Amino acid sequence: PGNLKWSTTGITIIGNGYGKRSDQLQYPEGLFIEPKTQILYVADASNNRIQKRYPSGEIKTAAGQANGAGGSTPNKLYSPGHVFADENENLFVADMMNQRIQYWEKDSKHGKTVAGNGSDGSALNEFNRPYKVLLDSKKNIIVADLDNERITRWASTYDPKTSAGTIIAGGNGAGLNPYQLNAPTGLYLDEPNNILYISNEESHSVTQWEMDTYGNRNIYAGIPGRPGNSPAQLMGPEGLTLDKYGNLYITDCMNHRIQMFCPNSVYGITIAGTGQIGNGNYDVIVQAQSGTGKTKTFILAVLQQLDVDCKDYQALILVPTRELAQRIHRVVLALGEYINVTCHACTGGVNVREDMKCLEANVQVVVSISGRIYDMLKRSALRSENIKMFIFDKADELLSRGFNEQIYDVFTMMPENVQVILLSITMLADVLEVATKFMNNPVKILFNREEQTLEDIRQFYVTALSIGRSGRFDRKGAPINVVTNNDRHILRDIEQFYNAQIQEMPLDGPDLI
């Protein structure tokens, strides 16, 4: 690519979380930058609107309702897929779920239909999810008709009674044959060379189709029907653009990257993205209720971030008890079975050399109690340079056990860019101290004390003279908290703290659980 260079990190210029405010988006689809004005347009699909951002940073709603209300009337859109704009800020919108292309003049409160009749179908005056729209130099409208597996061209003059599109690519059903498309989602028109580039989302390839020579095509990028993440492969490609050097840029959606294909090259170069889903390694504090599926939720997040091809330590999960470590270990192996994730639980109770031997066997996820992991790090049995996630489960309990200094030492052995995640039922002073010392502006997911107990969890206690190790479960396996008379005042303190009343179990209590 010559002397072309890209930054290794991106800058967010529009989008401030999920929502309906002008600076927020909900599942944005296509975007378009008008070359002369440098105005950025975004199809904010789930907000049923088009947002435009001026170079000054000002953001406005350019089409649809600012409040996100969708519909089929002229003043509304319904899940717009893409947008095309001219230098005068007039828009052509692929109003996908309304089966039409809408034209919106600058500052207009409503649009008018310029292609499609609003009904879904395969006739030439119909669409079946028009996803992408662009204009050629003669102001003809070119549309990627997604579920009809075709590209159609519409004359610039539109009559709802007589206008119809002309098929210029595809239209022969979905497939991998030279005359077929497969979920066309991206278009780029190289008008000087009379070539249309088409991304096929479901065949994982990009087609180079000669205009006005129906049926001639070449596979320009990707391997049809063979998705993957190698430099020669794509997975769910969508957006396309071409630079002045003839390099083609592809939004390789399911690989979470932007690929550049130089002319005549079958291998792409990653210029943006890491191949892993994410929006940055933000530190996170989560106040998690019991019974919400918290363990599986954070383990799924860990598995999503793993580089499965890297057989080295990538995630360290610290827990307060041996039993919890073993349980998390089982869940990691169960959920990670299909991607061959390796995991080891350092729980103590076994010879140190056994743990050291297990850690030598290309382990990707390590679950441990604080004392044992500290020992493994001090012995250099655990290398920390590739660890990218450091997770505290039940952080309040973990930090209240008097191991703070030991845990702080473990922090100092982690890489500088490690992502720290604290999961805690309560926000004790020890937890907040860790956040202050070792976390970088963490995202906080908190809830009120009144919400800490789920409504569908039924709690009972049973008074007993003594408690044996087997007296924790009923015949159905449901947990029962057994207390002695001396413990009842503690139970009342718990009720007051959680703003909940726990009843003594009635005789038929097990049948209520």
List per-residue pLDDT tens for the chain, 513 residues long: 557 888 877 888 898 777 888 988 988 999 999 999 999 999 999 999 999 999 999 999 999 999 999 999 999 999 999 999 999 999 999 999 999 999 999 999 999 999 999 999 999 999 999 999 999 999 999 999 999 999 999 998 888 778 899 999 998 899 888 788 999 999 999 999 999 999 999 999 999 998 876 556 788 999 999 999 999 999 999 999 999 999 999 999 989 999 999 998 999 999 998 887 666 667 888 886 666 677 888 898 888 888 888 888 899 998 888 888 999 999 999 999 888 899 999 887 778 888 888 888 778 999 988 888 888 888 888 888 888 899 988 888 877 766 667 788 888 888 877 889 988 877 777 777 777 777 877 877 776 544 444 454 555 555 554 444 444 444 444 555 666 666 666 777 776 666 666 666 665 554 544
Judged by phi (left if over 0) then psi (alpha if -120 to 50, else beta), residue 203 lies in alpha
Backbone region of residue 340 per phi and psi (left: phi > 0; alpha: psi in -120 to 50; beta: other values): left
Indicate the domain borders of the chain. 13-171, 284-451, 460-512
Q: Which residue has the tokens 């390789």?
A: 252
* CATH code of the domain made up of 284-451: 3.40.50.300
pLDDT of residue 353: 84
Residue 31, exposed/middle/buried by CB under 10 A (0-12, 13-18, 19+)? middle
CATH T-level fold of 13-171: Neuraminidase (2.120.10)
- Helix, strand, or coil (residue 18): strand
| Residue 171 vs residues 125, 156, 165, 179, 202: alpha-carbon distances, Å | 14, 22, 12, 8, 15
CA 273 to CA 275: how far, in whole Å? 6
Question: In this structure, what DSSP letter does residue 447 have?
Answer: -
Which pLDDT score is estimated for 282?
Answer: 77
The predicted structure's pLDDT at residue 416: 78
Q: How far apart are CA 409 and CA 458, in angstroms?
A: 40
**pLDDT score, position 461:** 58
Residues in the chain: 513
Residue 126 burial (10 A CB sphere; 0-12, 13-18, 19+): buried
What is the reported pLDDT for 476? 44
Which strand ranges, in their side-by-side order, compose the sheet holding 237-242?
A: 237-242, 248-252, 257-261, 269-272
d(CA 360, CA 205): 40
Q: What is the pLDDT of residue 451?
A: 47
- Beta strands 91-95 and 83-85 are antiparallel
Confidence (pLDDT) at 458: 57
* CA–CA separation, 410 and 378 (whole Å): 9
Helix, strand, coil share of the chain (percent; to 5): 20, 30, 50
Angstrom distance (rounded) from CA 218 to CA 206 = 9
